[in-house]
Structure 1
Amino acid sequence: MRLRFLGSTSEAGACPSLYETDRGTIVVQGLHVTDAAALADLRHVLDGETAVEVPRELLVDIARRVLG
């Protein structure tokens, strides 16, 4: 799998960041959610999956640029 950087809302390109893959999917780079109450709200978490918190403005910005 290859990644193409889409953008970040953090300084110096650190996390959280979004990437597009050559498979047509999105990869999220960010800090793991560790709050027990928040993790308890997740549904159907499979082995190997984790939750990552991403600012809403990052998703909106990337959606506008990628989707036109």
Structure 2
Amino acid sequence: MIAGGPCGPSGDEDKCGNGDCPTIFTTNLPGLLAVQGYTTDRTTPDGEAIVTIPESLLREAVRALGR
């Protein structure tokens, strides 16, 4: 995990009520990140999904990667 994760006491309980907020994970594939987020209603090919993540979370991930 490089950004996000369990919600703290000030987490958005409407979206993160289960304690898991959007998160970005590293993978074993160079240059690819796994993103946990909120699903959308757009259709995708089997095995793919589009998720939304807060812009601040992506910026946090970029900082964590040193870029």
TM normalised by structure 1 equals: 0.64
Structure with bigger strand share is 2
**Which residue of 1 is the match for residue 25 of structure 2?**
19
Q: Please state how far the C-alpha of 1:46 moved relative to its aligned partner.
A: 2.5
Identity, in percent, stands at 27
SS in 1 for 2:59: helix
Instruction: Quote the residue 1:6 is aligned against.
Output: 2
Higher RCO structure (Cα 8 Å, ≥6 apart): 2
Equivalent residue for 1:64?
A: 63
Higher helix fraction: Structure 1 or Structure 2? Answer: 1
The one-letter code matched in structure 2 to 1:56 is: E
Q: Give the CA RMSD over aligned residues.
A: 2.3
Separation of aligned partners in 2, 1:10 and 1:63: 19
**Residues in 1 aligned to 2:6 and 2:52: alpha-carbon distance in whole angstroms:** 13
4+ residue segments displaced more than 3 Å:
none
**Contiguous gaps of at least 5 residues in structure 2:** 9-18
Question: How many equivalent residue pairs?
Answer: 56
- TM-score scaled by length of structure 2: 0.65
Flag structure 1 segments of 5+ consecutive residues without an equivalent. Answer: none
